Structure 1
Amino acid sequence: MWKFIVRRLIITIPQIIVLSVLVFLMAQMMPGDALTGQIDPSIDPAAIEQQRERLGLNDPWHVQYADWVGAAFQGDFGQSFRFKMPVTDIIGERMVNSIWLSVVTLVFTYALAIPLGITSGRYNDSLLDQGITGYTYIGFAMPLFIFALLMLWIFGFQLGWFPTSGSVTPGLVPGTFDYILSKLYHLILPSLSLALITTVSTVQYLRSEIIDTKQKDFIITARSKGASESRVYNRHILRNSVLPIAAFFGFEITNLIGGTIFVEQIFSYPGMGQLFFESINLRDYSVVNSLVLLFGIASILGALISDIILSLIDPRIRIK
């Protein structure tokens, strides 16, 4: 088992290196630079060019990349040109909100997916199953940003049940009970919007697993021995069908990365996704590079977690 984990960790190292190079090159190919639109056009162009030279914006890309990676290994992702503060401080402020959003979304996702998947698989071809399957088809076809906008318009603006922006009510003291309640209240609508879409793949997968397991020989044998239907489902079918869902936990983390970027922007939620959009518009390359790199590393680690969990469930897939 440890050999498998070590080998998978070794494989992730070149993946992260290639990712960092691609991220840096794509940022370099973006039109303009960090000073574009940020300096008074009446300033002498020679002074602007001197500023670019001082910031290293005129250096060859490989020199800039080496400087960036070297500083990143020391925990220094550079200075934000827009916010005039260290990138690590900016991301640290937003990361907490994004983690909260991801955790609550995962709770909603599994709280919805597991009961719906079990019900749909157990009573397949029934009206209840057709209703759940219809929901999953709509979820697959509905773009996340369209669904999030509908949720915001209906429950935020029309009904007024939930806040339409922000992560907490202004003026509350951090750490107090009211502050925590406000945090959770602001999380409900964006996290539920994301969960209702991301849950459909888990529902379909669990349904298919249950239907497939019901037809296995050991299930038929258990029924022929007189085992009750509840015992067959709880001790045999569910045990063999639900466990593989755990292997997709890492991929759920990967899917959340892309989802939170859109949801945070739509709900004006101050997380890393909203910061990502703002940094692109402002050509704040140091922040963009750092965020994309962090998103990519999270995706790679999510795949690693899934592989490890799957190897624990099914030892046959381990690398010899």
Structure 2
Amino acid sequence: MWKFTVRRILIMIPQIILLSLLVFIIAKAMPGDALSGNVSPDVDPQTLEELREKLGWNDPWYQQYGRWAKDLLQGDLGTSYKYKMPVTELISQRVINTVWLSLFSLVFIYIISIPLGIISGRYNNSLADQVITSYTYIGFATPLFIFALVILWFFGYYLGWFPTGGSVAPGLEPGTFEYVMSKFNHLILPSLAIALISTVGTVQYLRNEIIDTKEKDFILTARAKGAPESRVYNRHIFRNSLLPIAAFIGYEITLLISGTVFVEKIFSYPGMGQLFLESILVRDYTVVTALVLLTGVATVLGALLSDIALSIVDPRIRIK
């Protein structure tokens, strides 16, 4: 296992280098810069051009990339032109909120999807299976941002059960019980909005795997030997049906991080997704490239995590 992990990490190095190069080139190819539309129209265009020259924005792209990559290796992601502060510090203020939102969403996804997938697969073609399948079809057809808006309006504004914005109520002291409960209360609605849509894929995977596994020869053999039905499902069908879920757990995490972009904007949740959209609008490309690069690195790490999880769940797989 450790040989496989080391080999995959070595393969990840050129992948991350190529990713950083592509992210930088695409960001530089986008129209405008941090000074476009963000300064007074009375400022002399010649002054703006001199400032761009001073900042090195008129240099060839490979020179700019070289400086950026050098700073990146030293842990310096640059300076935000909007917030006038280091990007590393800016992201560190937001990343914990996105991590908590992703973790809560992931917990809700598996709490919802695993029971529904088991019921739908074990009792396929029943009324319960038809209801669950209809739910997954609706989930596949509904855009996340539309569903999030409906959830926000119904539970936030109409019923008033949950806060409609922010990550914590103002005026609370960090570390107190009220502060923790307020953070938890602000997380429930956006994480449920993500989970109720994202869970449909996991339900379908688990349902199909259970149905397919029920027809395998080793299941028929176990039943022929007189094994109790509960043991057949718990030890044979369910365990083998978990393979697709284990295989996609790493990708699920990275998809959640990228999928929180619109949800954070809709719920005014101060995370990396909201920061990403705000940075694009003001052309703060230093922040944009840093966030895209971090998401790409998280995706590569998620692929590694998925392979490791799959080899742990399925003892028949031996990756050398």
TM-based fold match above 0.5: yes
Q: Deviations over 1:199-229 (max 9, x none)?
A: 1111111111111111111211121222221
Aligned length, in residue pairs: 320
- Does 2:188 correspond to 1:207? no
Superposition map of 1:179-198 within 5 A: 179-198=179-198
Distance 1:21 1:292 in 2: 12
Query: What SS does the aligned partner of 1:25 have?
Result: helix
- Does 2:285 correspond to 1:285? yes
Query: What SS does the aligned partner of 1:240 have?
Result: helix
Whether the 8 Å CA contact 1:77–1:88 is kept in 2: the answer is: yes
Q: Deviations over 1:251-287 (max 9, x none)?
A: 1112112310111011111000000000000110110
Q: Deviations over 1:119-176 (max 9, x none)?
A: 1111111000110111111111111111111111111111111111100000000111
Q: Deviations over 1:24-49 (max 9, x none)?
A: 11111111111112222212222222
Whether the 8 Å CA contact 1:147–1:193 is kept in 2: the answer is: yes
Whether the 8 Å CA contact 2:98–2:257 is kept in 1: the answer is: no
Superposition map of 1:130-279 within 5 A: 130-279=130-279
Whether the 8 Å CA contact 1:4–1:318 is kept in 2: the answer is: no
1:2 positional shift: 2.1
Whether the 8 Å CA contact 1:166–1:270 is kept in 2: the answer is: yes
Opposite residue 233 of structure 2, the aligned amino acid is Y
Distance 1:54 1:182 in 2: 46
Whether the 8 Å CA contact 1:244–1:313 is kept in 2: the answer is: no
Bigger CA drift: 183-192 or 38-47?
38-47
Partner of 2:113: 113
Query: What SS does the aligned partner of 1:166 have?
Result: coil
Distance 2:35 2:221 in 1: 72
Partner of 1:29: 29
Whether the 8 Å CA contact 1:167–1:186 is kept in 2: the answer is: yes
Change (3 A) 1:235 1:250: same
1:10 positional shift: 1.7
Query: What SS does the aligned partner of 1:40 have?
Result: coil
Normalising by structure 2, report the TM-score.
0.96
Whether the 8 Å CA contact 2:243–2:314 is kept in 1: the answer is: no
Opposite residue 299 of structure 1, the aligned amino acid is T
Partner of 1:45: 45
1:317 positional shift: 5.7
1:13 positional shift: 1.3
1:314 positional shift: 4.0
Opposite residue 146 of structure 1, the aligned amino acid is I
Q: Which residues of structure 2 form unaligned runs of 5+? A: none
Opposite residue 72 of structure 2, the aligned amino acid is A
Distance 2:56 2:221 in 1: 72
Whether the 8 Å CA contact 2:210–2:237 is kept in 1: the answer is: yes
Distance 2:58 2:271 in 1: 31
Partner of 1:71: 71
Change (3 A) 1:19 1:53: same
Opposite residue 180 of structure 2, the aligned amino acid is I
Distance 1:143 1:210 in 2: 27
1:244 positional shift: 4.1
1:246 positional shift: 2.1
Distance 2:24 2:68 in 1: 9
Whether the 8 Å CA contact 2:311–2:319 is kept in 1: the answer is: no
Q: Which residues of structure 1 form unaligned runs of 5+? A: none
Q: Deviations over 1:98-123 (max 9, x none)?
A: 01100100110010011111111111
Whether the 8 Å CA contact 1:251–1:302 is kept in 2: the answer is: yes
Query: What SS does the aligned partner of 1:227 have?
Result: coil
Opposite residue 296 of structure 2, the aligned amino acid is G
Normalising by structure 1, report the TM-score.
0.96
Query: What SS does the aligned partner of 1:212 have?
Result: helix
Opposite residue 311 of structure 1, the aligned amino acid is S
Opposite residue 219 of structure 1, the aligned amino acid is I
Bigger CA drift: 160-169 or 32-41?
32-41
